[in-house]
Amino acid sequence: MPSLLHFGEDDLLNCRFAISPLWETQEAVRTLNRPARHGYHAHWLRRIRTAAAGLDLTPLWLLMPRSGYSPDWLGPPPIGPAATFDEEIAAVRAADPAVARGETARSLADTPGALTSPHGRALLADPARTVTRLTDLLEEAWHTLVAPDWPRLRALLEADIAFHSRRLAHVGLGGLLPEIDRRLGWRAHTLTIEGGGRHERHLAGQGLVLMPSVFSWPDVISGFEPPWQPTLAYPARGIGGLWAEPTGSTSDALVRLLGRGRAAVLTALDEPATTTALAHRLRLAPSSVSAHLTALRDTGLLVSRRYGHQVLYERTPLGTTLASGGG
């Protein structure tokens, strides 16, 4: 059965994109326990295997049913377009224990036997301790599983948002949503989401948060009960090449024209990216990349635009011609 999200006029004005390091941490934890998600992440799984083995993720997995409800208090919607993990985890740590207990019980009920299991009983017995314990565990999972690769992950997510923002300007929200994923349909101001179970909600002016995700592939996930803002997480574009290493394919001609550093930066900008993401990708100092980006922008090969607290760089048509001719 499909899920249905009904939009009013105000909802169309209150849709936004967001990136959530907390969400990616939650989905990384899920991915470890779901072999069907492993396809694109074999390199990551091999690299973090030893570190992940040192985490006891059982209490979190217990609240991540294969089909059913996951507690909103444990992973609330993104609080802003460019929130940090520290900002997001602070909101989790401040959860009301009484609310947390109710949502935890509801989630446990969606996994047979979980309510009466030792872990389940422990989670319900002391809600305040549960909030602290699971928040600490999420924070440990962030530092172990996601933070070392966050510049790379964030670059991919930012590129997805840049692409879909351009498409939104061309085709509008009704045209964009079916483009994001084949399971999304749009008709008469209603978003239909296939394959996620039956759920229906009138957005009532809150709009919708659109959130690309690396680790939620292949799932499209919609959720958050009132009063939370509805959020739709979808697989980000380009995850097939996420873990690929730089190819070093910058041409000699482009190097002679621009210099090795600037040629590498221009070639690497297949999608819009930040200074930090490019530095991580190219294994160069951020200060060097920043200087190269400024020079390339000043000569008309790049443009920059602000997204939240970050600045994204992308090629101009001339920059693309040079990079392609050099490939």
- What is the pLDDT averaged over residues 276-294? 90
Give percent helix, percent strand, percent coil of the chain, each to the nearest 5: 55, 15, 35
Residues β-bridged to residue 107:
none
Instruction: Match 């939650």 to its residue by tokens.
Output: 26
- What is the pLDDT averaged over residues 136-152? 94
Structure tokens at 154: 């964030």
Coil, strand or helix at 290: helix
Q: Tell me the CATH number for domain 245-326.
A: 1.10.10.10
Average pLDDT, the chain: 88
Q: How far is CA 163 from the centre of its chain?
A: 15
CB 151 within 8 A of CB 277: yes
Instruction: Match 């009063």 to its residue by tokens.
Output: 227
The edge-to-edge listing of strands for the beta sheet with 221-223 is: 16-17, 209-213, 231-235, 221-223
Say what percent of the chain tops pLDDT 70.
95
72, 121, 123, 142 from 23: Cα distances, Å: 11, 26, 21, 10
The C-alpha R_g of the chain, in whole angstroms, comes to 21
Q: Where in the chain is the domain with CATH 1.10.10.10?
A: 245-326
Residues β-bridged to residue 234:
212
pLDDT for residue 326: 42
Distance (Å, whole) CA 11 – CA 58: 38
Does the bond joining 127 to the residue before it have cis omega, within 30 degrees of 0? no
224, pLDDT greater than 70: no
Distance (Å, whole) CA 93 – CA 84: 14
Q: How confident is the model at residue 48 (pLDDT cuts 50, 70, 90)?
A: very high
CB 315 within 8 A of CB 305: no
pTM of the model: 0.77
Query: Lowest mean pLDDT: which of 3-17, 58-72, 294-308?
Result: 294-308
DSSP H or E segment with residue 24:
helix 21-32
For 127: left if phi > 0, alpha if psi spans -120 to 50, otherwise beta; the answer is alpha
pLDDT for residue 307: 63
Number of Cβ within a 10 Å radius of residue 82: 15
Q: Is 46 exposed, middle or buried (0-12, 13-18, 19+ CB in 10 A)?
A: exposed
Q: How confident is the model at residue 31 (pLDDT cuts 50, 70, 90)?
A: very high
Angle, alpha carbons 226-228-234 (nearest 5°): 115
- For the residues of 59-98, what is the DSSP string, one character each? HHHHT--SSS---GGGSPPPSSTT--HHHHHHHHHT--HH
- What is the pLDDT averaged over residues 8-22? 91
- pLDDT tens track for 64-119: 998 888 999 998 888 777 789 999 999 999 999 999 999 999 999 999 888 889 99
